[in-house]
């Protein structure tokens, strides 16, 4: 259960430790890539609760989404169209949807557990 | 709860990369956001540091220069006596070599051909040897050596400085001194004690006296401040070399 959190922690630590100076021009594309990565991660978490988790879909989605998001943003900049906004909106909307689903699922689980406990207590009494 | 088994590692993997990218992006954006003031501050800090370093280096070089200046001054004062001595030696040698113009008291000896005597003699006897009425190289040579013997410190003939290698010889109708052709009248200048020099020239058997007795128009003038020009030719030693000390 704690392995993904451990992964996130290690990633954050390594990211801080690396301290690679990113040129200002690339910072924007990296931000878009982060957004895509977060979207993939939350999509993965959501799929766990929906009980249709697929590692292949998660990994391919993660890599293709991050790369394509950055690439599209870059392409948009070259074309003079703010394509990165499209990525921000698409990923942002999906991120919030996923978060909402996760929240609801967690709530369901919690409510279910409480009900079960209550029933147990009732039964014991 | 079977899904706990196979979703952990892939999700950990994804979150791991997300974490790295998130931190990098945060760092980049953060650095970017602070750029106008922070970068300026950083620039100013580095500038101040550079200036301080430069100042330090300049101070050090100033110190070094002062030290070397002190050293030079010290060695200068120490070497002053020696250089003065050397300069004195050099001056002496330059006077001796005739490369310096010199001045001092001395005499000038005026010599000319005995033209009057020659004409009289020709009138008497047309076969007279006219050479006997001319100033010859030998006369100059003898007079120069008489002057030297009397302590002359510098000698010139018609402003040709007489030095060690000076040649005085007959070349046709002229006399060559320092490879320069001279004709009468001859003025020999000599710096030295005027009385001594005059006395030496006027002794009974001196060349000057012989010329005077023979009726040549000669005379001696004493000078308080006689100037003798420097030797203008070159010194060349093709054969002579300083003997190596053993």
Strand-strand pairing, B219-228 and B174-177: unpaired
State the nearest Cα–Cα gap between A94 and chain B, in angstroms.
17
Judge whether A10 lies within some domain.
no
**Hey, is the C-beta of A66 within 8 angstroms of any chain B C-beta?**
yes
Query: Which residues are bridge partners to A100 per DSSP?
Result: none
pLDDT tens by residue, A97-109: 999 998 998 898 8
Which of B28, B31, B35 is the best substitution to test chain A (most A C-beta atoms within 10 A)? Answer: B28
Using a 10 angstrom Cβ sphere, with 0-12 exposed, 13-18 middle and 19 or more buried, the burial of residue B187 is middle
The one-digit pLDDT tens for each residue of chain B (246 residues) are 444 457 788 888 888 888 888 888 887 766 655 566 777 888 888 899 999 999 899 989 988 988 888 888 877 777 777 777 788 888 888 777 777 888 899 999 898 888 888 888 888 877 777 778 888 888 888 988 888 888 888 899 888 888 888 888 888 888 888 877 888 888 999 999 988 888 888 888 888 888 888 888 888 888 888 888 888 777 777 888 888 776
Segment (H or E) for A59? helix A55-79
| Residue-wise DSSP of A32-58 | HHHHHHHHHHHHHHHHHHTT---HHHH
Pairwise CB contact (< 8 Å): A55 & B32: no
Residue B80: count of CB within 10 angstroms of its CB: 10
Pairwise CB contact (< 8 Å): A31 & B10: no
Structural domains in chain B, sorted by start: 102-228 (3.30.70.1880)
Which residues 34-63 of A have a C-beta within 8 angstroms of B?
34, 37-38, 40-41, 44-45, 48, 51, 53, 55, 58-59, 62
Using a 10 angstrom Cβ sphere, with 0-12 exposed, 13-18 middle and 19 or more buried, the burial of residue A70 is buried
Judge whether B140 and B175 are in contact, CB under 8 Å: yes
Query: For chain A, how big is the Rg over CA atoms in Å?
Result: 19
- How far is B170 from B19, CA to CA, in rounded Å? 114
Nearest-by-CA chain A residue for B29: A27
Which residues of chain B are within 8 Å of residue A31 when distances are taken between CB atoms?
A: 25, 28-29
Pairwise CB contact (< 8 Å): A8 & B8: no
- How far is B30 from B40, CA to CA, in rounded Å? 15
pLDDT tens by residue, A13-48: 888 888 777 777 788 888 888 889 989 888 888 888
Judge whether A27 lies within some domain.
yes
Judge whether A77 lies within some domain.
yes
**Hey, is the C-beta of A85 within 8 angstroms of any chain B C-beta?**
no
Judge whether B237 and B132 are in contact, CB under 8 Å: no
Segment (H or E) for B105? strand B102-111
Residues 6+ positions from B219 with CB-CB distance below 8 Å: B109, B110
DSSP B125: -
- How far is B10 from A54, CA to CA, in rounded Å? 9
Pairwise CB contact (< 8 Å): B11 & A21: no
State the nearest Cα–Cα gap between B38 and chain A, in angstroms.
15
pLDDT tens by residue, A47-95: 888 888 888 888 898 999 899 888 888 888 888 888 888 888 988 999 9
* Predicted pLDDT at B31: 60
Using a 10 angstrom Cβ sphere, with 0-12 exposed, 13-18 middle and 19 or more buried, the burial of residue B89 is exposed
> Counting runs of H as helices and runs of E as strands, what totals does chain A give?
4, 0
Give CA separation, B146 vs A38, B104, B191, B221, B223, in Å. 121, 19, 13, 16, 18
- How far is B223 from B199, CA to CA, in rounded Å? 15
Which residues 33-52 of B have a C-beta within 8 angstroms of A?
35
Q: How far is Cα of residue B215 from the mean position of the Cα atoms in its chain? A: 47
Judge whether A107 lies within some domain.
yes
Which residues of chain B are within 8 Å of residue A24 when distances are taken between CB atoms?
A: 28, 32, 35
Nearest-by-CA chain A residue for B12: A4
Our count of domains for chain A comes to 1
Burial B130-152 (b: 16+ CB within 10 A, else e): eeebbbebebbbbbbebbeebeb
3-state helix, strand, coil in chain B (%, to 5): 55, 20, 25
Lookup: tokens for B193: 């004690």
Judge whether A2 lies within some domain.
no
Show the domain range for A79: 23-124
Which residues of chain A are within 8 Å of residue B6 when distances are taken between CB atoms?
A: 53, 55
> A-B interface: how many C-beta pairs under 8 angstroms?
126
Pairwise CB contact (< 8 Å): B6 & A30: no
Only one residue has tokens 């900049």, namely A77
Judge whether A48 lies within some domain.
yes
Using a 10 angstrom Cβ sphere, with 0-12 exposed, 13-18 middle and 19 or more buried, the burial of residue A78 is exposed
Nearest beta carbon to residue B19 from set A11, A26, A31: A11
Nearest-by-CA chain B residue for A16: B23
What sign does the CA torsion over B47, B48, B54, B58 have?
positive
- How far is B239 from A21, CA to CA, in rounded Å? 80
Side-by-side strand order, sheet with B180-182: B168-171, B174-177, B180-182
Give CA separation, A24 vs A27, A69, B100, in Å. 5, 17, 80
Q: In chain A, where do the E strands start and end?
A: none
């Amino acid at each position: 259960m704690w392995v993904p959190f451990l992964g996130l922690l290690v990633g954050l630590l390594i990211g801080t430790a690396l301290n690679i100076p990113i040129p200002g021009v690339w910072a924007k594309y990296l931000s878009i890539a982060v957004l895509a990565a977060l979207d993939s991660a939350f999509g993965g978490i959501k799929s766990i609760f929906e009980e249709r988790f697929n590692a292949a879909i998660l990994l391919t989605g993660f890599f293709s989404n991050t790369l394509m998001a950055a690439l599209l943003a870059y392409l948009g900049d070259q074309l003079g169209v703010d394509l990165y906004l499209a990525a921000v909106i698409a990923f942002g909307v999906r991120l919030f949807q996923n978060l909402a689903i996760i929240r609801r699922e967690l709530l369901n689980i919690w409510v279910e557990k409480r009900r079960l406990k209550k029933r147990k207590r009732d039964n014991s009494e | 709860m079977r899904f706990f088994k196979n979703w952990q590692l892939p999700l950990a993997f994804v979150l791991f990369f997300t974490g790295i990218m998130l931190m990098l992006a945060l760092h980049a954006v953060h650095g970017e956001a602070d750029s106008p003031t922070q970068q300026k501050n950083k620039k100013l800090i580095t500038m101040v540091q550079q200036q301080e370093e430069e100042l330090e280096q300049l101070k050090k070089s100033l110190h070094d220069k002062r030290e070397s200046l002190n050293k030079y001054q010290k060695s200068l004062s120490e070497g002053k006596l020696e250089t003065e001595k050397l300069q004195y030696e050099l001056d002496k040698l330059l006077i001796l070599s005739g490369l310096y113009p010199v001045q001092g008291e001395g005499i000038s000896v005026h010599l000319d051909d005995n033209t009057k005597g020659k004409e009289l003699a020709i009138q008497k006897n047309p076969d007279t040897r006219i050479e006997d009425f001319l100033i010859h190289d030998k006369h100059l040579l003898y007079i120069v050596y008489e002057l030297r013997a009397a302590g002359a410190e510098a000698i010139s003939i018609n402003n040709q400085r007489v030095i060690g290698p000076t040649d005085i010889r007959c070349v046709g109708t002229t006399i060559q001194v320092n490879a320069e052709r001279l004709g009468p009248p001859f003025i020999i200048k000599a710096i030295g004690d005027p009385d001594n020099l005059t006395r030496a020239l006027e002794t009974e058997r001196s060349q000057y006296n012989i010329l005077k007795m023979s009726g040549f128009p000669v005379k001696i003038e004493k000078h308080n401040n006689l100037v003798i020009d420097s030797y203008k030719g070159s010194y060349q030693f093709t054969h002579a070399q300083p003997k190596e000390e053993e």
